[in-house]
Amino acid sequence: MEPSITTTRSRRLRRTSLAFAIVFASFLSVTALAKQTEEEKAAKAEAEQEKLLQVFVSEPYLELSTGPGRGYAVFRVVEREKSVDVLFRRTDWFKVRDEQGVEGWARARDMRRTKLADGSPFVFHLGDMAGFTSHDWEIGIGFGDYGGADLIGLYGSRSLTDNMKIDLSVSQFLGNASTGWKAELGLQHVLFPEYRFSPFLTLGTGYVETFPRATIVNALDRQDQTAYVGAGARFYLTRRFFIRADYRWHTIFTSRDDNEELEEWKVLIACFF
């Protein structure tokens, strides 16, 4: 087979259009469905133009497994100098198609040793310490304490640089006197992103909604704006995982004369990608 860097992706297309068809069939009327078929044709033509990456095996062989995990059987090997088309990636496995059209899963570590058509190495992110230092996104879940109430939290963050990130956290608190939820948006400054353990500082603003428990008389639901400063630490565990411990000192701008001040701490298990 003559090396070309791209081939069409007809299989993915069938998949996408099938998914579209199922979703639309259940929600749209017959006329809308007819319209969709035309749109589908246009999408099909467009998708056929879409190209796939072709990489060449430079090790003695590349193993293909039946599934994206170490437990799945190796059912095929691709020889050196032969090529595979990269269909998509799931965790640290790539779904590829060889020159005979056989599809299988190749381990990311093995794909790192393949070459592009111009002979340059195939480079991509792996979940390792270097990825911990430099990545785009983080998500995490955790548990903690918010002014004496139990706290369940979820957060996501987007890296601006290795040091600076935008944090969005949403959490629910369940206390004896009241329950509620809050959402916060802020900046996180990681002091030493290149180390396994690094402290960080945070600053941000948020919104809190509080519902007093029914047993408390004359209490009203409250919606308040908040601001926080905080500090914490991050510790890289393994692969794509790290632990994040967070302390925040909140000021709640209440409608009363005094602002309320609350402390929050939480521990999160998080991953980056």
Residues that bind another protein (CB under 8 A): 5-6, 12, 15, 19, 50-53, 66-73, 86-95, 116-118, 120, 124, 127, 139, 141, 143, 150, 152, 154, 172, 174, 179, 213-214, 239-241, 269, 271, 273
Measured from the CB atom, is 103 or 163 closer to another protein? 103
| CA 168 to each of CA 151, 155, 185, 186, 204: distance values in angstroms, whole numbers, following the listed order | 16, 6, 5, 7, 9
User: What is the chain's alpha carbon radius of gyration, rounded to the nearest angstrom?
Assistant: 25
What's the closest the beta carbon of residue 248 comes to another protein, in angstroms? 19
DSSP 165-212: EEEEEEEEEE-SSEEEEEEEEEEEEES-TTSSEEEEEEEEEEEEEEEE
What's the closest the beta carbon of residue 231 comes to another protein, in angstroms? 24
CA distance 113 to 4: 19
Measured from the CB atom, is 202 or 210 closer to another protein? 210
Measured from the CB atom, is 156 or 199 closer to another protein? 156
- The residues facing 84 across adjacent strands are 55, 98
Measured from the CB atom, is 178 or 254 closer to another protein? 178
What's the closest the beta carbon of residue 32 comes to another protein, in angstroms? 21
Measured from the CB atom, is 115 or 189 closer to another protein? 115
What's the closest the beta carbon of residue 16 comes to another protein, in angstroms? 9
Residue the block writes with tokens 């948006």 = 185
What's the closest the beta carbon of residue 271 comes to another protein, in angstroms? 4
| Contacts with 243 (C-beta within 8 Å, 6 or more apart), sequence order | 234, 235, 237, 267, 268, 269, 270
